[in-house]
Amino acid sequence: MHELPVTESILKIVLKHAQMNNVQHVVAIHLQVGKLSDLEDEWIQRYFDYLSKGTLAEGAKLKIERMPIMMQCNACSKAFETDAAKLNDLVCPNCGGKESTFLSGREYFIKNMEVQ
Amino acid sequence: MIEVKEEILADNIKVASDVRERLRNSKTMLLNLMSSPGSGKTSLILQTIAKLKNSVRLGVIEADIESKVDAEKVAAHGIPAIQLRTGGFCHLDATMVTQGIDALPVKDLDLVIIENVGNLVCPAEFDTGAHKNVMILSVPEGDDKPLKYPLMFSICDVLLVNKMDYLPLSDFDMPAMRKRVLGLNPNIVIIEVSCKTGAGIENWTSWLAKEVDSFKQFK
């Protein structure tokens, strides 16, 4: 629902880096977004297409890498990956422990961009 | 290929940490209250004011879209309240909160409560600059909400389960809900309340009074 302000931030950061590097045209932007985020890929792209008209980044493709939800077992300390549907019954695949602590999965990060 | 390596919401994170620092200096604790529409944010704020107004100097920032009335209700208790015009926005960000802080006499306040926009999705993504995040889940919403909105449950310091007076009439599974929430966020404090009957409100306000107190002691 909040794709618009997020997309504005993406564009602003991308244009800043494009200017710093004397880029002619931004072709693609690689994002890392945690699986716990509700961002819709399609809407980010649509907003981006709209906002980037007439800029160096017009037409750039957003490539979104979804970062896994990682938990750490409270018993054996091993980290393991899960998904939102399994949060109900988290079981450590290593020791079978049922208590774990959230590690990561809410990233909002611009990794790099392809340019010409 | 150009390495960017930047947080998308870096601007907001910066403004939020400025807010936190500024209120740290004025010894004003900022609390961000979030929930779905209709789960009882305004009722909880009014109950909190009633219990704490003689011991804690309170202010309120109202952002809920449908809550023009709310700032008036709060102001009727002699509590400074600011109504932000969020223009139908789905969440508050730190810049909007800064406007609210600017308009409140924060130097003379111990605690400012933000009534965020009623929504379990977007407010979880945007740091408001609050020192504590608190959410309400009301019994009629169901015990499955931690599974549908895990991010919200993972970022909060306190979960208030409101409308406990409905529990006997519902199939809300409290142990299952607790297990789901604690799996995501083992440090969260869960407090059961009913704004209608007043049950459990004392547990909430004593948690809050203690937090405000230790915030003031912090150097």
pLDDT of chain B, 219 residues: tens digit per residue: 999 999 999 999 999 999 999 999 999 999 999 999 999 998 999 999 999 999 999 999 988 655 555 677 777 788 898 888 777 778 889 999 999 999 999 999 999 999 999 899 888 989 999 999 999 999 999 999 998 898 899 999 999 999 999 999 999 999 999 988 988 888 999 999 999 999 999 999 999 999 999 999 976
Longest dimension (CA), chain A: 55
Cβ count within 10 A of residue B148: 14
A6 and chain B: CB distance < 8 Å anywhere? yes
Assessment of whether the complete model's pTM goes beyond 0.80: yes
CA B182 to mean position of chain CA atoms: 19
Structure ipTM: 0.83
A114 touches chain B (CB under 8 A): yes
Q: Where do the DSSP E strands lie in chain A?
A: 26-34, 61-67, 69-73, 79-82, 100-104, 108-115
Closest CA–CA distance from residue B174 to any residue of chain A (Å): 13
Q: Among all residues of chain B, which has the CA nearest to that of A71?
A: B184
Q: Strand, coil or helix: what is B162? A: strand
- Alpha carbons A34 and A70: distance in angstroms, whole number: 10
Residue in B135, B88, B91 with CA at minimum distance from that of residue B113: B135
Quote the CA–CA distance of B108 and B104 in Å, as a whole number: 9
- Phi first, then psi, for residue B185 (nearest 5°) are -150, 85
∠ Cα A21 A24 A28 (to 5°): 85
- Nearest-angstrom CA–CA distance, A41 and A33: 10
Burial class (CB within 10 angstroms; exposed 0-12, middle 13-18, buried 19+) of B24: middle
Give the distance between the most distant pair of CA atoms in chain B.
61
